[in-house]
């Protein structure tokens, strides 16, 4: 497969480097806030939180807040604390997700729930979540608090929705989009939108950044869900085929099931119900996904949302920040190739 | 045992009835907010949350907010939404606690984690927690947001601290008080304090209500921890001896261990480590607790904090609300007798 949305004339594959360079200095400040505010007199809290936070995540969401602030030429520093708040919400969600999914690996390392147990992961997640609200309160913007408290409720709803859809082969593309909109895209959107709020930009710019973040988030999740079937553990940093074994009905499965013959459908029903979990079953699933074009078309959907993300930036004049945000979209999609 | 702090001349045992009567009308409004705001288009959320919320809890914390507001003659309605926010924080904490402890019974019914599983309990807890912040943001007081986001972080810290102390017989009274201050008393204190904030009373009144709530919370938890050894399942509404089997080092155990001979201490070490979990072991533990005076003295400590709660109300003039709040303290302690 070859990525088809590279801009003509690009010599190298799309990368996150321009985004990372753009926000590097700001990110040092954000990291300082993160390290400072994950502390507690209870040693287990920084120990467990630090394992995940230091564990090589991309800090995608705080990067987006910082880059969007740059895009609209915000000159202050309020976004440092708020970027840390966004990352804390994300980290809390990951800790709880790994408990819910019983995951053993993330970012190429053992998960916190494996090392310290489910109870500690649940409670430290609660701590980080509370701490994120303390950071927002210190900033003092009720508008930011509204955006992020709403995003948090939507994320939790999305996670419960996903749990309800698990092992249900009847899940359709609409419900799937609804789930990833909530569990992933809502925080991407909020991370981008709050940049416009602290910069006191008009509603149109707020909305444009929200749309950029939301569609980037959907594209990101679509690609993640494709990669879960199209990659190996070493590349992915987590257990390959996790979604398959967990009975998660992601878009690749929805498309392959819809397009399959009776035999294929019987296989998917059994697999999603949890009766086909061997490596051979996973190999068979992957073969069905490729043969039906389900992986390719999941990535085509991702390109569609990626294009919408890019187009949402149309109202902003050309700048390094704009280029970096557009290349981040291309990077999100190119990860699959 | 006989309760010794009944005021002279009281013909009937102390009761929560005066408090409940005082706030009954306000509580109808709070219940309406709770029912309205626990809704979601994801059916599992109101189903699971409703099981616990409708499950016969006393609504102690919202009652305290309402009664404190009455005490200081607050005439508005902002405290209805905020009382619901407090109850949502508490409910989220209970859902996560029952997962952490693997509890099977609460308030005389099966726990949500037993019926719907740990994952659903974790995620619906997260939803209620987020929703509580949405309610606070709607109210719009940054001061209330600060008090309750800080209380939430302290609660989570207390829960992690408790987890770290579990199965550690070396836990001392100071660490125990630190834990119950955080996991229980912080939200009691915040629930009372925010009444003064919405009523725009001075710092001295805020502080007095905080102190009342905090000491009542400590007394409540001390009595709960005594009851866990001194009651049966039917009275308690949860599994008797849960703390014992979970290896939780509560004050009765700390006192009995400190006062025991070598043989007693060996028993406690083995029990807290998880090697003595039969009904006979529990009966032996209860006998040691009674013989060493550990239960009586835990209740004496509770009376001490109860007295401090009552004395904190000294700055407020006599009123029905004050009488009801004082009787609530007496009720909290009399539950043990």
**Smallest Cα–Cα separation from B34: which of B52, B19, B20?**
B52
- To which residue do tokens 């005082």 refer? B22
- To which residue do tokens 């990525």 refer? A3
- Judged by DSSP in three states, A77 sits in coil
Q: Which helix (H) or strand (E) holds A63?
A: helix A60-71
Bridge partners, B109 (sequence order): B106
CB-CB contact of B99 with B163 (8 Å): no
User: Helices B17-37 and B118-139, interaxial angle, to 10°?
Assistant: 100
**What number of residues does chain A have?**
337
Interface test with chain A among B38, B99, B122, B190, by most A beta carbons within 10 Å: B122
- Please give the DSSP secondary-structure letter assigned to residue B7: P
Q: Would B10 be classed as within a structural domain?
A: no
By Cβ distance, the residue of A100, A126, A153 closest to B127 is A153
**Contact residues, chain B, for A96 at CB < 8 Å:** 122-123, 126
**Contact residues, chain A, for B136 at CB < 8 Å:** 149
Total H helices, total E strands in chain B: 17, 2
The alpha-carbon gap from A331 to the nearest alpha carbon of chain B, in Å, equals: 31
DSSP of A97-124: HHHHHT--EETTEE-HHHHH-HHHHHHH
* pLDDT of res. A37: 97
Bridge partners, A109 (sequence order): A106
- To which residue do tokens 């834990």 refer? B179
**Contact residues, chain A, for B41 at CB < 8 Å:** 157
Bridge partners, B106 (sequence order): B109
- Please give the DSSP secondary-structure letter assigned to residue A169: T
- Residue B167 has φ and ψ, to the nearest 5°, of 65, 15
CB-CB contact of A81 with A88 (8 Å): no
* pLDDT of res. A141: 98
Report the distance separating Cα B101 and Cα B242, nearest Å.
9
B99/A119 Cβ within 8 A: yes
The alpha-carbon gap from A127 to the nearest alpha carbon of chain B, in Å, equals: 5
- Residue B105 has φ and ψ, to the nearest 5°, of -135, 145
Q: Would B145 be classed as within a structural domain?
A: yes
Q: Residue B280 is encoded by which pair of tokens?
A: 């006979």
* pLDDT of res. A108: 86
* pLDDT of res. B233: 54
* pLDDT of res. B9: 56
- Nearest chain B alpha carbon to A147: B134
Put simply, the chain A residues between 144 and 173 with a CB less than 8 A from any chain B CB are 145-146, 149-150, 152-153, 155-157, 159-161, 163-164
Q: Would A305 be classed as within a structural domain?
A: yes
B140/A142 Cβ within 8 A: yes
Q: Residue A282 is encoded by which pair of tokens?
A: 């996973």
Average pLDDT rounded to a whole number, residues B222-247: 80
Q: Could you tell me the CA-to-CA distances from A211 to A332, B111, B303 in Å, in that order?
A: 16, 41, 58
The alpha-carbon gap from B143 to the nearest alpha carbon of chain A, in Å, equals: 9
By Cβ distance, the residue of A123, A134, A150 closest to B96 is A123
Q: Would B12 be classed as within a structural domain?
A: no
Q: Residue A81 is encoded by which pair of tokens?
A: 């604390």
Considering chain B, what is the average pLDDT of its residues? Answer: 94
* pLDDT of res. A238: 61
Bridge partners, A105 (sequence order): A110
B163/A126 Cβ within 8 A: no
Residue B236 has pLDDT above 90, yes or no: no
Residue B2 burial (CB count, 10 A): 6
Report the distance separating Cα B214 and Cα B335, nearest Å.
18
Put simply, the chain B residues between 24 and 43 with a CB less than 8 A from any chain A CB are 40-43
| A134 in contact with B, Cβ within 8 Å | yes
Percent of chain B with pLDDT over 70: 94
Residues B72-124 pLDDT 10s: 999 999 999 999 999 999 999 999 999 999 999 988 899 999 999 999 999 99
Average pLDDT rounded to a whole number, residues B215-221: 98
CA count, 13 A, side-chain hemisphere, A84: 28
- Residue B106 has φ and ψ, to the nearest 5°, of -150, 135
Boundaries of domain holding A100: 17-334
Q: Would B117 be classed as within a structural domain?
A: yes
A96/B122 Cβ within 8 A: yes
User: Helices A142-165 and A173-180, interaxial angle, to 10°?
Assistant: 140
- Domain harbouring B313, CATH code: 1.10.600.10
H helices within A140-275, ranges in order?
Answer: 142-165, 173-180, 186-198, 203-230, 233-236, 242-246, 251-259, 262-273
Tally of domains in chain A: 1
From A256-260, A314-318, B171-175, B237-241, the region with the lowest mean pLDDT: B237-241
Cβ-count burial A173-194 (b if 16+ within 10 Å, e if not): eebbbbbbbbbbbbbbbbbbbb
Interface test with chain B among A85, A160, A161, by most B beta carbons within 10 Å: A160
* pLDDT of res. B57: 85
Sign of the CA dihedral running B181, B186, B191, B192: positive
Q: Residue B99 is encoded by which pair of tokens?
A: 């997962």
**Smallest Cα–Cα separation from B248: which of B91, B87, B103, B96?**
B103
Q: Would A1 be classed as within a structural domain?
A: no
Report the distance separating Cα A63 and Cα A82, nearest Å.
11
ipTM of the complex as predicted: 0.95
- Residue A110 has φ and ψ, to the nearest 5°, of -60, 145
Q: Would A4 be classed as within a structural domain?
A: no
Dihedral, CA of residue B256, residue B259, residue B262 and residue B264, to nearest 10: -20
* pLDDT of res. A239: 65
* pLDDT of res. A337: 76
- Nearest chain A alpha carbon to B96: A122
Residue A207 burial (CB count, 10 A): 15
Q: Residue B102 is encoded by which pair of tokens?
A: 């693997």
* pLDDT of res. B337: 76
B152/A130 Cβ within 8 A: yes
* pLDDT of res. A8: 53
- Nearest chain A alpha carbon to B147: A134
CA end-to-end distance (rounded Å), chain A: 6
Report the distance separating Cα A276 and Cα A289, nearest Å.
15
DSSP of A292-332: TTHHHHHHHHHHHHHHHHHHHGGGSPP-HHHHHHHHHHHHH
For chain A, residues with pLDDT lower than 70 are 1-10, 231-239
- Nearest chain A alpha carbon to B152: A130
- To which residue do tokens 């959107």 refer? A189
Residues B12-57 pLDDT 10s: 899 999 999 999 999 999 999 999 999 999 999 999 999 999 877 8
Average pLDDT rounded to a whole number, residues B181-206: 98
DSSP of B299-326: HHHHHHHHHHHHHHGGGSPP-HHHHHHH
Q: Would A6 be classed as within a structural domain?
A: no
**Strand runs (DSSP E) across chain B, as ranges?**
105-106, 109-110
DSSP of B32-78: HHHHHHT--SSTHHHHHHHHHHTS----HHHHHHHHHHHHTT--SSH
- Nearest chain B alpha carbon to A98: B119
B161/A96 Cβ within 8 A: no
């Amino acid at each position: 497969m070859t990525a088809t949305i590279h801009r003509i004339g690009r010599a190298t594959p799309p990368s996150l480097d321009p985004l990372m360079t753009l926000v590097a200095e700001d990110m040092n400040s954000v990291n300082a806030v993160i390290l400072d505010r994950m502390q507690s007199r209870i040693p287990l809290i920084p120990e467990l939180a630090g394992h995940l936070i230091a564990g090589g995540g991309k800090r995608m969401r705080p990067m987006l807040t910082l880059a969007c602030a740059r895009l609209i030429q915000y000159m202050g520093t309020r976004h440092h604390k708020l970027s840390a708040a966004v990352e804390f919400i994300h980290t809390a969600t990951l800790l709880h997700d790994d408990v819910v999914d019983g995951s053993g690996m993330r970012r190429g390392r053992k998960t916190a729930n494996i090392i310290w147990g489910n109870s500690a992961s649940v409670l430290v997640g609660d701590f980080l979540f509370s701490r994120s609200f303390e950071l927002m309160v210190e900033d003092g913007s009720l508008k930011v608090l509204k955006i992020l408290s709403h995003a948090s409720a939507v994320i939790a709803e999305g996670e419960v929705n996903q749990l309800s859809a698990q092992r249900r082969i009847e899940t359709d593309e609409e419900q799937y989009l609804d789930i990833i909109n909530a569990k992933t895209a809502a925080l991407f959107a909020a991370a981008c939108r709050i940049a416009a709020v602290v910069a006191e930009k008009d509603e149109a710019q707020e909305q444009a950044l929200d749309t950029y973040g939301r569609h980037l988030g959907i594209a990101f999740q679509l690609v993640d869900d494709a990669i879960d079937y199209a990659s190996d553990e070493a590349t992915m940093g987590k257990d390959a085929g996790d979604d398959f074994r967990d009975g998660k009905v992601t878009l690749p499965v929805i498309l392959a099931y819809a397009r399959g013959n009776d035999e294929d459908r019987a296989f998917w029903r059994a697999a999603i119900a949890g009766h086909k979990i061997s490596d051979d079953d996973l190999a068979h699933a992957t073969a069905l996904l490729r043969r039906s074009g389900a992986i390719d078309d999941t990535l085509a959907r991702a390109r569609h949302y990626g294009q919408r993300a890019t187009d949402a930036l149309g109202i902003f004049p050309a700048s390094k920040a704009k280029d970096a945000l557009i290349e981040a979209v291309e990077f999100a999609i190119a990860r699959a190739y």
